[in-house]
Amino acid sequence: MVRKTIQQWLVLETVQRLCHPSAEEIYRVITHKYPSISRGTVYRNLHNMSESGALKQVSIPGGADRFDITTQPHYHAVCKYCGCVQDAMLPYQEQIQDVVLTCDGFIVEKHDIIFWGVCKECAQKEHVGKKTSPATGG
């Protein structure tokens, strides 16, 4: 029987709302509203739910692991400036694993692709920062 505790519902709801948050972000948001919930409880629930498949743990090179409410295989785009993680709109390429299979007997079980770039918000900030506005007055 799969029965979720209140803490598990809280964690799930927070992951959904924040879109790929890290464990620390989830903890901070939850403890803001429910100060009695400890960091250990949040981390343990995240771990258990990742193990059971209720959540997907996403490893980001050079950063903290993120948690994802979408458990189906999919790809991510990461902003090199603010580190925000978004779902990449690309169908899962199951067939590329078959190509790798032909290489030296290596058995591929899964794959991950991360697209690195600049998110919309940072792009706008960058744009604003670079724009050389002509000096007016004076």
**Chain positions contacting Zn ion, by CB under 5 A:** 68, 70, 79, 81-82, 87, 119, 122
Start-to-end C-alpha separation, the chain: 74
Q: Indicate the residue among 37 and 88 with the shorter CB distance to Zn ion.
A: 88
Q: Indicate the residue among 27 and 67 with the shorter CB distance to Zn ion.
A: 67
Give the start-end residues of each E strand in the chain.
56-58, 66-68, 75-79, 85-88, 114-117
> Residue 2: CB partners within 8 Å, gap ≥ 6?
52
Strands 114-117 and 75-79: parallel
Name the minimum Å distance from CB 13 to Zn ion: 16
Q: Indicate the residue among 29 and 68 with the shorter CB distance to Zn ion.
A: 68
Name the minimum Å distance from CB 85 to Zn ion: 7
Q: Indicate the residue among 96 and 113 with the shorter CB distance to Zn ion.
A: 113
Q: Rounded CA gap, 58 and 131, in Å? A: 36
Name the minimum Å distance from CB 114 to Zn ion: 11
Q: Rounded CA gap, 138 and 136, in Å? A: 7
Name the minimum Å distance from CB 16 to Zn ion: 11
